[in-house]
């Protein structure tokens, strides 16, 4: 099977962590990393072995974030993220980023950063036959006040955002305080996706239900821990709520500890709307085709399964129906 040739819909991909390695190397001297060897490059910018928990993974993203210091760089990495996705067979792409994370420590407003990302995405849509939508992320680890300003920002820019997401470490950071923000976003017409049930925490399946009940999630980012509670699995099936699954990410973050134990196929066979995603391809040193290969060779998914997963992703993608249909020829 040529994994690159499969036409793909990618729903879960973080803009800030999809940076091309050649671009990281080019920008690295600007933050004091000169003459990076392969080893020091990997030490600072890559995660290729399982980390001890999600918190330590999130910390490792900070060097990469330091690189994103100007509008030009943000426009460039946005364009390149789309181009790389296109070369992996992606025709419909949702790219997500957190305005608070993107501008942190840089002399940039949300507005400047966002318009730069929009310029990069629009240029890519012009150059490649693809439809791209940006999803705005609220960082659950920040004070609720900041979440409110990000919500306002997303709603003010709903012509250039397709959805709102809640991300970061779930351990100790409940969904409920964010419910009024997500209600407003949903009422404004934005799609809602929530990182929930990602890490292997005692109440992880419950967090998925919280995201649905309190935040109105249309889709769940990861949600992989649902396999531990059949009632949650049944709910996802009955209410047709898709999971944005990212197998390699789950392995590297320690969400799934057994390298052969990802529940993707089991969930799909039961009728869960499973979609295939790469999460942070740059940092994880993978691309989306790598995930297809993994699912094919290790978990036995076949061509028909891939068609089905992409149809689930296409149907539940937040990009406007006419826009996504134009690039998705059956
Ligand atoms: Zn994610």
For 156-172, the pLDDT digits (tens) are 999 999 999 999 888 88
Q: Is the pLDDT of residue 312 over 70?
A: yes
- The tens digit of pLDDT for each residue in 59-92 reads 778 889 999 999 999 999 999 999 999 999 999 9
Percent of the chain with pLDDT over 90: 89
**φ, ψ for residue 217 (rounded to 5)?**
-60, 130
Q: How far is the CA of 4 from the centre of ligand 1 (A)?
A: 22
When pLDDT is cut at 50, 70 and 90, the band that residue 25 belongs to is: very high
Fold of 3-319: TIM Barrel (3.20.20)
Angle between helices 144-156 and 110-127 (to 10 degrees): 40
Taking the centre of ligand 1 as the mean of its atom positions, its distance from the CA of residue 35, in whole angstroms, is: 31
Closest by CA position to 94, among listed 247, 221, 272: 221
Residues with CB under 5 A from ligand 1 (ion): 279
For residue 12, the CA-to-ligand 1 centroid distance in Å is 6
In the reported structure, the alpha carbon of residue 44 is separated from the centroid of ligand 1 by a whole-number distance in angstroms of: 20
Q: CA separation (Å) from 31 to 24, 45, 50, 58, 283? A: 11, 13, 26, 19, 17
Say how many Å lie between the CA of residue 166 and the centre of ligand 1.
9
Distance separating alpha carbons of residues 327 and 314, to the nearest angstrom: 11
Residue 191 pairs in a beta bridge with: 163
CA distances to 11, 112, 202 from 233, rounded to whole Å, are 20, 41, 16
Domain boundaries along the sequence of the chain? 3-319
Per DSSP, 137 falls in state E
**Neighbouring C-alpha atoms within 13 Å toward the C-beta of 215:** 32
> Model's pTM, two decimal places?
0.96
Kindly report the average pLDDT of the chain as a whole number.
Answer: 95
């Amino acid at each position: 099977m040529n994994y690159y040739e499969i036409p793909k819909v990618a729903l879960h991909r973080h803009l800030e962590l999809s940076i091309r390695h050649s671009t990281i190397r080019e920008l690295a001297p600007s933050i004091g990393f000169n003459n990076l060897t392969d080893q020091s490059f990997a030490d600072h910018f890559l995660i290729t072995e399982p980390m001890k928990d999600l918190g330590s993974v999130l910390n490792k993203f900070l060097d990469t974030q330091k690189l994103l210091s100007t509008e030009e760089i943000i426009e460039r990495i946005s364009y390149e993220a789309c181009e790389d996705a296109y070369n992996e067979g992606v025709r419909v792409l949702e790219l997500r980023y957190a305005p608070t994370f993107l501008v942190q420590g840089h002399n940039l407003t949300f507005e400047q950063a966002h318009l730069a990302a929009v310029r990069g995405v629009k240029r890519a849509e012009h150059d490649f036959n693809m439809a791209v939508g940006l999803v705005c992320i609220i960082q659950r680890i920040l004070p609720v006040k900041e979440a409110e300003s990000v919500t306002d920002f997303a709603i003010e820019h709903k012509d250039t955002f397709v959805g709102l997401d809640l991300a970061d470490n779930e351990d100790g950071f409940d969904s409920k305080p964010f419910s009024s923000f997500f209600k407003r976003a949903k009422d404004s017409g934005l799609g809602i996706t929530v990182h929930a049930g990602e890490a292997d925490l005692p109440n992880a399946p419950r967090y998925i239900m919280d995201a649905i009940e309190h935040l109105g999630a249309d889709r769940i980012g990861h949600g992989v821990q649902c396999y531990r509670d059949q009632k949650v699995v049944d709910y996802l099936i009955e209410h047709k709520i898709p999971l944005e699954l990212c197998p390699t990410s789950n392995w590297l973050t320690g969400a799934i500890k057994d390298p052969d134990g990802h529940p993707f196929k089991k969930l799909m066979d039961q009728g869960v709307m499973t979609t295939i995603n790469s999460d942070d391809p740059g940092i994880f040193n993978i691309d989306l085709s790598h995930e297809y290969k993994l699912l094919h060779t290790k978990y036995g998914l076949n061509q028909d399964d891939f068609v089905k997963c992409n149809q689930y992703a296409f149907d539940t993608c937040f990009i406007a129906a006419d826009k996504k249909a134009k690039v998705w020829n059956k």
